[in-house]
A and B are shown apart, each in its own frame.
Chain A
């Protein structure tokens, strides 16, 4: 507790001295009254009491007092430092403004990105022990990620040892809700009854699904999402026990989910067990189910993988035709949705980090320039007794105050930046609602401001307090070149700025080129003017396939007759977003190894489909209205399928069937070949190939109604709804979209990353250009006198300018080399985000190097020219 008394008076000695004085005076007085010296001594001590006891008490009081005083002194000094700082900053408002603005931009960008990272990546899932939850899927040789077959899932539950429990749910399907006001298409998820207890979710109302709801004879139950409950039923708490008609079948509302249920996102949940006997959930069918497992405590992902691999091996041995080559894998549930955005955020985090470093370098440079000008002031303060520590503290106070004010500005910028970000609605960023400026973000901003203040402040502070006071005074504040140390520091700053700016600009350039390439990708169809929506025919009202086909054909005929409609068709999927893949067996070709069969996209279409979406016929004939049930089964294939399977040979007239060699599907005759559509997303490099089946031979209960029209989307959609209602008043038109929107979705994330990085790179370019100009032009200006002397001594103007500019360009060159090395090292972060461009794209690197070179040349050239024009005599007298 007691500290060595170095800077304060020895309190113990003071108390002793005080007591000694008292006792001596007392003894003297008693002796004056006639006592002997011995008796007086005894009496004085008696009157005093226990000396050492009182000494301790006095010293304790003194220590408390002096500690308090010291605290007050430190505060006083700080207050003084801060007051002094504000005064000296106000004296140079331009400097203060530029520094604060620079820091504000840097800190603001970092805070904004941090708040996104904090909301998207760091906030925990609202489930019980979320770290033990995993998302599970299956795989086959040709596809690394397919949904889970229901019987396989039941086998997992029996055999896998890594899990406390496994549930399944699907990504949702459309259901028509009737019997409660207007008919509406709702999104319903199927889930196994144990899903909610496995996640650890409690109902907001009533009860959630339980395993009992999965059993075959159970009364059909449904659970509503919080959003749907509010939207459709006005949060009516009497909803529990009511019956809803979904696709005509009755379901009893069992309960309502809490608002923070993140899985799914649809309107309601149904027990998958009710549909277990449907052919959709046969072993060979992978129709949209995903697994959610809760790992036993201590089980790692690796152990889980081995476990699943073993179970999958058993399944594929036991069911060689339906489950050949099946595998399974998983990832932490918290990665769901964040897996794709994570590299983007890592990249953006790195980018804003670079921006902040750049801002630091700029402000450090400004401080250096200021320190040179204040050399005399410092020397004076040292001369009148300020210690180096005191001066250092003063300078650091200045930089921390600058950084904190910059931080406040940054916070304001981040706040509005995040608002802007959210208004852009980057569709690919999950958990957007979690993003806001909260306490954690504030702490981050504060921390980063302090750190920044120390980072840019400490080197210039050390640098400017090191100099000899006497020498500085004698130099009358105008060093010839500012000292060797400072020169070296400035050279370092120049190199750093160039390197940082190069890395940022290269990153932005690469993403920009990727984006341009991606935006220029041909989708294979002509998306302009295509408007579409889905129609779902409930099995109860339309039990018969002929009835359904007649309905869709009638609807298309009605729509085609409308004015302003160039073309109309229907299909099971929109181009560029096929959701159905299958393996096939080609007649006359050697069967592929078990499990190695290639998978193709499949879509059932009406004959007008190809003309409507602008997909060209390349060989053979198109589909015809006569290709319907009862007629020979025919099929069109895309170029890629033809090439992958038959090579150069003409595929027309050949036959294949869906499924493996033992499948009892009919042989389909290829009658034509059409162009390729990017069905695997725009960035997929190789087309998988697509099979086009005639809808009339493969009638489903749901279809996209697709029209081509130049009329506005809303009026076309209104017309489609009217025509639909004209055929059946109970049917809604759902998912209305344009093909252009559909395609843009797959470009949304690249657009978002590119936009953000471009903003940061533009910021970096400005900071770097200003900083580079500042650093270089300042050091050239510092050499004005030297330039004057050399010209006076007869040096040629051109040579002098050349040497000054040459030195600046040499430093820039070094920065470019270091920045290039850094960019190449960081290429790994970027490579996953690039499309059609390598991380070492010479065009981007060349362009950026050229840009920085020009900035450096201008920054060095202008002041050098100016310096060389000054009359040598003037420059020396200055």
Chain B
């Protein structure tokens, strides 16, 4: 299958979710809020896609979910990284950094190589 922008976005979204869960368990709404706040509107993700990604990651065993109570005392589903998810985040971060350094190097080059 050809690599479409959606796929790229999906991969990126996964890293963002893993990152936002790296500080501790939180429910889907909190993850959405965190991503929206940190991206400062640079890109918009549908909340539905976020949940689809969360469930897919649960299926893959990167995160596990548990029902708990929110700050306001309502029943909410909390997600938490599994060791596998933590490893995945590490790999993704490393490759993302290699990628962005390479792109940055090329874009900031002043002499034709």
Q: Is the CB of A18 within 8 A of B52?
A: no
- Chain A: which residue is nearest B58 at the CB level? A65
Report how far A26 CA is from B74 CA in the complex, Å.
Answer: 13
State the Cβ distance, A19 to closest chain B Cβ, in Å.
7
A61-B55, A62-B59 known; A21 vs B74 contact (CB < 8 Å): yes
Interface bits B44-67 vs A (CB < 8 Å: 1, else 0): 001111011011101100000000
State the Cβ distance, B42 to closest chain A Cβ, in Å.
16
Q: Is the CB of A48 within 8 A of B47?
A: yes
For A29, list chain B residues within 8 Å (CB).
Answer: 33
For B55, list chain A residues within 8 Å (CB).
Answer: 15, 57-58, 61-62
For A878, list chain B residues within 8 Å (CB).
Answer: none
Q: Which of B46, B52, B74 contacts A58 (CB 8 A)?
A: B52
- Chain A: which residue is nearest B76 at the CB level? A21
A58-B55, A61-B59, A62-B59 known; A21 vs B48 contact (CB < 8 Å): no
Interface bits A57-89 vs B (CB < 8 Å: 1, else 0): 110011011000000000000000000000000
For A18, list chain B residues within 8 Å (CB).
Answer: 28, 51, 76-77
State the Cβ distance, B97 to closest chain A Cβ, in Å.
29
Q: Is the CB of A54 within 8 A of B59?
A: no
Q: Is the CB of A22 within 8 A of B58?
A: no
Cβ of A590 within 8 Å of any chain B Cβ, yes or no, is no
For B90, list chain A residues within 8 Å (CB).
Answer: none
Q: Which of B29, B48, B74 contacts A53 (CB 8 A)?
A: B48
Chain B contact residue count (CB 8 A cutoff): 21
State the Cβ distance, A252 to closest chain B Cβ, in Å.
70
For B95, list chain A residues within 8 Å (CB).
Answer: none
Q: Is the CB of A22 within 8 A of B51?
A: yes
Query: For the complex, would chain A's binding face be called helix, strand, loop or mixed by DSSP majority?
Result: helix
Q: Is the CB of B77 within 8 A of A21?
A: yes
Interface bits B8-33 vs A (CB < 8 Å: 1, else 0): 00000000000000000001110011
For A61, list chain B residues within 8 Å (CB).
Answer: 52, 55-56, 58-59
Report how far A54 CA is from B77 CA in the complex, Å.
Answer: 16
Interface bits A18-61 vs B (CB < 8 Å: 1, else 0): 11011011100100000000000000000111110110011001
A47-B46, A48-B46 known; A17 vs B75 contact (CB < 8 Å): yes
Report how far A50 CA is from B70 CA in the complex, Å.
Answer: 25
Q: Is the CB of A58 within 8 A of B29?
A: no
- Chain B: which residue is nearest A60 at the CB level? B55
Q: Is the CB of A51 within 8 A of B70?
A: no
- Chain A: which residue is nearest B28 at the CB level? A22
State the Cβ distance, B34 to closest chain A Cβ, in Å.
13
Q: Is the CB of B75 within 8 A of A50?
A: no
Q: Is the CB of A26 within 8 A of B52?
A: no
Q: Which of A15, A17, A22, A64 contacts B29 (CB 8 A)?
A: A22
- Chain A: which residue is nearest B30 at the CB level? A25
Q: Is the CB of B47 within 8 A of A47?
A: yes
Report how far A62 CA is from B76 CA in the complex, Å.
Answer: 17
Report how far A66 CA is from B20 CA in the complex, Å.
Answer: 25
Report how far A17 CA is from B52 CA in the complex, Å.
Answer: 15
Interface centre among A49, A51, A62 (most CB of B within 10 A): A49
Report how far A49 CA is from B46 CA in the complex, Å.
Answer: 6
- Chain A: which residue is nearest B56 at the CB level? A61
5 intermolecular pairs with C-beta atoms under 8 Å apart: A18-B28, A25-B70, A26-B29, A48-B48, A58-B51
Chain B residues proximal to chain A, CB less than 8 Å = 27-29, 32-33, 46-49, 51-52, 54-56, 58-59, 70, 74-77
Closest 3 CB pairs of A and B: A54-B48, A49-B46, A49-B48
